[in-house]
Structures are given as C-alpha cells and as structure tokens.
Amino acid sequence: MKKQYPEYGILYVDDEMKSLKYFEAIFEGLAPIYLANSPEEGFAVFQEHHARIGVVISDKKMPGESGIELLKRMRKVDPKPLRFLVTAFSDLDAAVDALNDGLLYSYLTKPWDPDDLENRLSKALSHFCLERERELLIREKSEAFQQLLMADKAASIGILSAGLNHHLRNALTVLRTFYDLLPFQLQDEIEGEPKDRAFWCDFYEEVGGQIERMTSILSNLSEGTKMSSLRLEGEIDLAATLRDAGELVLQGRPDIRFKLDAPEDLPLIQGDAQKLAQMARFLFEEARSVLKRGGEVEIFLSSIDGGRDVQVMFLDNGDPVPEEDLPRLFDPFYVRANQPEELGTNLMACYLTVFHHGGTIRAERATDGRNAVIFSIPVSPEPENDDEVEPTPRMLWRLADFSSRDLRAAGAVLPS
C-alpha cells in the first residue's frame, strides 16, 4: 500500500507491546513506522534514523525514564522532528508545561481516538514536510546567491589586479634584479666573506622568498580572474589530472599519504586542460600547506546528475577549518589565523576555474571531521559568450530574483 508520507516516518515509543502493534496496524499506511519498547531503545532508534523521522510520539510513564526526559534527550540530537507526548488526563498539567516550554508540538491523552489521531498526525507530517522543503529552498537560494556574489567579487578583483599588475610587476622586477645582483656586488666591494653571515643566510633568503610570494600572488590574481573564454578540449581524464598533480606537488613529502578513488566508467570531460591542471595543483598545494606535520589527502570522484556532471570530493585531515570560515576560503584575501603568511588566491583561482566551466564548488566539514572541498563540473560545459557583460552587484540582485526575507533567514548579509 502506498504511504501518504513516504519520505518521513513516525517513531512511537511505549512500554506496552499491544499499543505498539495496535499503532502500527492502524497507521502503517500513513508513513513509515518506527517502534520502540523502552526509552533506551527509542533513543537508539532515533539516533540512527532521526534524519528520516518527522514525528516522535512517546508515552509519558515508562520504566526507567519518563517520556518528557526522553524527548528532551532526542531534542539535543535533532530538534527538527515534531514531538508528541501521550499522557493520562490526570497528568495533563505536565504535558501543558512541556508544551509551553517548547518541548512539545502537541500532546495526546489516553485512550486516543484513531480517526482524530490520524488527522493530527497527518497535519503534523504535512507541516514538517513543508518546513523541510522551505529550508531546502532557502539553502539552495543562499548557495546560489553566494556563488553569484563571489563571482562578481572575483571579477572586480580581476579588473583591479589587471590595472595594478603592470606597475607592481615592474617594481618587483627591479627588486628581483637588485636581489640577484647584490651578492656579486657585495663580493666586489668587500673582496672577501661578509662579517655577518647569519644576516645573509637568513634575512637575505627571507627577502627573496617574499619577492617570490608577491610575484605568485600577482600571477594567481591575474590568471585566476581572467574572464576570457575557456579553451575547451575533449576527453580530459579528470582522475588522471588530479593524480598527476598530486604526484607532482607531494613529491618529497612522504609524510603525506595520497589516495584517489574513481569508478572505471567515470566519463571523460570537455574543458580547459591547462586551467584544470592548474586547479588540481592549487588544491594539493593548499593541502600541503595545512599538513605541515603530515597526514592524508583522499579524493573521491563520481558521476552525478544522470552522468551530466563529474563530482570531486577533496579531503584532508589537517587542522579543521572553523565552521564560520568555510564560506570564506575562496575569498582571495582570507587569511588563516594559524597561517598569516598565506592568502586565499589559490582557492579563488580554483573557484573561478570551476565557475567558468559551469560548475559549483564549496567548502564544508565532512561527517568524519575532515576538511572537504567539493566541486562538480559538467561533462560538456557550455562555452562562454565573450559579448556577455560581467554582472555587477546590483545586476546580481536582479538575476538572482531571491526573497530578501528568505535570504536573511538563511544568514545572508544583503546590501541596503
């Protein structure tokens, strides 16, 4: 028999087996039914299946733990499912207090009427499903908005970097020339070894490293923010591209383990081979920078969306990035608290490579606590139109056509 609400089920906890069997027989056509004969069993079932449970019903009086205490424990695990308490009429005051405290969605008195209970459960499940759909819609809108906003920000940085690049590179070229010639000039001047070798061994090399760093930042900003059309090539093996990049970047670092998992039937993609290879190197360079004490990089590739996209999960077990900083990793001027010398230009370039291939990219915390960068790229991206005008912030608001109220509810900061 087809269930009215097949996606989210009902968990019923009662120490009376007859009540459990009676409940299942009556309401099995409404939604998936989960049964538990004790508070501990009910809590274990909830821990395992809470993502698929929409309504929890618990008897108030049970051996070992009251229904109110059980529902409080469940709320700490997952507050989303709607909670009902089954109580005798004489215990109604406790149920009303729990309702007023926000613990309960509603309460039921024994004996309950099957028709009335079915109506109430149907309304509760309908309410729960609507809330989940609303949350999903808000999340999708917020993610799409952040993608558009980041693309516009990167375009603005690209315009700025294009203007500054020429002047700064000229200055850096002069500094680099002076740096390279200084040892020879010094040798001619003093005709022997310098007195302070520590100065020349440490500080001199630090200066050279900073010149290289500034040059690298300029290159990443310049290359990463170019809005020119992709040079699409066919039959690119993304798994091989990532594997080659890993072997190149991680050579000399035997303390970092590298594992790549890809299905044999993973489709080859069309794309800009040079930019995809550069993106792969940048991802490994980021992982290498956070795995200073060694660790593991693990990559999973899969075909999604009916074979139209290839998804890559890039994981490392370095120090966890704070949850609030995950959306900022692709900001070119984001600086890690424990790595003030590192800017986010590498990941910004990765973001733009994925964006211009028509894909999406995000950073999140994996279920096992590892840092994860997840991106998907179409197997056959649509070529960009050179005549298209790059979107400005105000254009983004019109293009997105989002509800300001929903976006603010999702935590987005909107301009006035």
Where do the domains of the chain lie, and which CATH numbers do they carry?
A: 9-112 (3.40.50.2300), 229-385 (3.30.565.10)
- Reduced to 3 states (helix: H, G, I; strand: E, B; else coil), residue 111 is coil
More confident site: 238 or 151: 238
Give the model's pLDDT for residue 392: 40
Instruction: Tell me whether the omega of the peptide bond preceding residue 111 falls within 30 degrees of 0, making it cis.
Output: yes
* pLDDT value at 227 more than 50: no
Question: How far are the Cα atoms of 292, 320, 342 from residue 288, in angstroms, in the given order?
Answer: 7, 14, 12
Amino acid at 347: L
Give the model's pLDDT for residue 139: 78
Give the model's pLDDT for residue 229: 60
pLDDT cut 90: percent of the chain above it:
39
Mean pLDDT of 205-234: 71
Amino acid at 65: E
* pLDDT value at 133 more than 60: yes
Highest mean pLDDT among 57-66, 171-180, 321-330, 341-350: 57-66
* pLDDT value at 42 more than 60: yes
Which region holds residue 38: left if phi is over 0, alpha if psi is between -120 and 50, else beta? beta
Q: How far apart are CA 149 and CA 355, in angstroms?
A: 12
Give the model's pLDDT for residue 118: 92
Give the model's pLDDT for residue 76: 92
- The set of residues, in sequence order, having a beta carbon less than 8 Å from that of 398 and lying 6+ positions away, is none
pLDDT confidence band for 172 (50 / 70 / 90)? confident
Give the model's pLDDT for residue 332: 67
Question: How far are the Cα atoms of 5, 41, 54, 79, 108 from residue 31, in angstroms, in the given order?
Answer: 5, 20, 9, 20, 19
Which region holds residue 241: left if phi is over 0, alpha if psi is between -120 and 50, else beta? alpha
Give the model's pLDDT for residue 89: 64
Highest mean pLDDT among 38-47, 109-118, 221-230, 361-370: 38-47
Give the model's pLDDT for residue 302: 95
Q: Which residue has the tokens 């894909």?
A: 359
Burial class (CB within 10 angstroms; exposed 0-12, middle 13-18, buried 19+) of 401: exposed
Give the model's pLDDT for residue 245: 96
Highest mean pLDDT among 110-114, 311-315, 324-328, 364-368: 311-315
Amino acid at 229: S
- The set of residues, in sequence order, having a beta carbon less than 8 Å from that of 201 and lying 6+ positions away, is none
Give the model's pLDDT for residue 238: 95
Give the model's pLDDT for residue 251: 93
pLDDT confidence band for 17 (50 / 70 / 90)? very high
Mean pLDDT taken over the chain: 81
More confident site: 213 or 191: 213
* pLDDT value at 179 more than 70: yes
Q: How many CA atoms lie within 13 A of 90 on its CB side?
A: 1
* pLDDT value at 58 more than 90: yes
Mean pLDDT of 118-133: 92
pLDDT confidence band for 180 (50 / 70 / 90)? confident
Give the model's pLDDT for residue 193: 67
pLDDT confidence band for 160 (50 / 70 / 90)? low
